[in-house]
Amino acid sequence: MIAARPAPGAEDQYESWLARRIPGVEEVRPGIWSLPTIMPDNPLRYVIAYAIRTDDGLVLVDSGWLSEQSWDGLVDSIGSIGYSVRDVRMVLVTHAHVDHHGLTRRIVEESGASVAMHRAEADALRVIADSLTSDSMPLASWLQERGAPADEVAEMIAQMSDQTLSQIHHSLIAPDVLLEDGDRPVPGRPDIVAIATPGHTTGHLCFYLEREKLLLSGDHILPRITPHVTRPPIIDDDALGSYLSSLTKVADLDAVEVLPAHEYRFSDLRGRVTGLVEHHHERLEEIRTALQERRSSWQVATQISWSRGWGATRGFMRQTALSETYIHLRYLERLNGVRRPADIPDCWELTG
């Protein structure tokens, strides 16, 4: 799939991404700034929050990774545009992953800002946090049911423990403003529209700035990376179907530029959407090819293509690949393209 070209004026972001450095703060439109902050020890390197000036102070779209280094970078970035964290009045959360929502609690403690996210994302965050403190280890059971070998399951669970995911999730603050599709949550900027885009997560939101015709896309659409469409074991919705519908939905916007949370700004929204849809249809065809004989979800995952190659992934990356494979299989199952024999819970075969 061909990557999107950078938008006019986004050359520094693009060159920074190519050079593996963190880009600088940019005023992408009058009163709208991109604020890249570091993601330590992460191959994505940085996440981009956005600050929007209002008559009452700043609105932030996303906050950043949960670390002292990220916090210091965010404070410095906000200072460089003439504000302080105390001037933040609202944080609009695209989704509750720790690189987007990790610093929100600290911002609230400094400024008293309100926090807004989609109602479905708030529900999912609560369910995930509860599951991480249970003794049942639903992830281990889910991995075993998908056909993962015992040693691989042990490695994934150990890595999850090493990353203290339970502590991370419990550090994420719940919203006090629950959003639905089409809401306009910012006083003084009624042109900022929340757009429900489930897929990457259950309650992912994009924010469309009607006045500037800018789409702040979070992780829904990125210029080069194909966003992961995965779910924790305790949530089993039609993730891929939702994502494909959400892509079609935003393609109809009259956006002149897309401001994503990673990589760089780009202009060709419709072209990028077309490429992402094609990618997932190619993935579905790969899965059909892999199912010339019965296979488990794990076996299918080992047979299809991944950006780094299956052999170069370990631990969490394999868990994510397996989850995405399973979601594609479930999508095909809903279309009656594949089925599971009744006596075998995770063994897939073609229907035709």
- The H-or-E segment that residue 196 falls in is strand 192-196
In a domain, 312, yes or no: no
Q: List, run by run, the mean pLDDT of 10-residue segments along the chain (352 residues).
A: 90 94 96 96 92 97 95 98 98 96 96 98 82 65 91 84 58 92 96 97 97 98 93 79 96 96 97 96 96 95 92 88 95 94 84 83
Question: Domain of 219: which CATH number?
Answer: 3.60.15.10
Decide: 197 and 250 in contact? Cβ < 8 Å. yes
Number of folded domains that form the chain: 1
Q: Does the pTM of the predicted model rise above 0.85?
A: yes
3-state secondary structure of 166: helix
In a domain, 42, yes or no: yes
In a domain, 35, yes or no: yes
In a domain, 348, yes or no: no
* Count of CB atoms situated within 10 Å of the CB of 280: 18
Give me the sign of the Cα torsion angle 68, 73, 76, 82: negative
- The H-or-E segment that residue 214 falls in is strand 214-218
Domain assignment of residue 187, given as a range: 11-137+169-283
Contacts of 154 (CB under 8 A, 6+ apart): none
In a domain, 94, yes or no: yes
Q: Could you tell me the CA-to-CA distances from 164 to 6, 125, 133 in Å, in that order? A: 36, 16, 11
- The H-or-E segment that residue 259 falls in is strand 257-260
Q: Could you tell me the CA-to-CA distances from 184 to 10, 63, 257, 309, 333 in Å, in that order? A: 28, 20, 20, 42, 37
238 vs 104: CA distance, rounded Å: 29
In a domain, 332, yes or no: no
Q: Each residue of 122-138: pLDDT tens digit?
A: 998 887 776 665 555 67
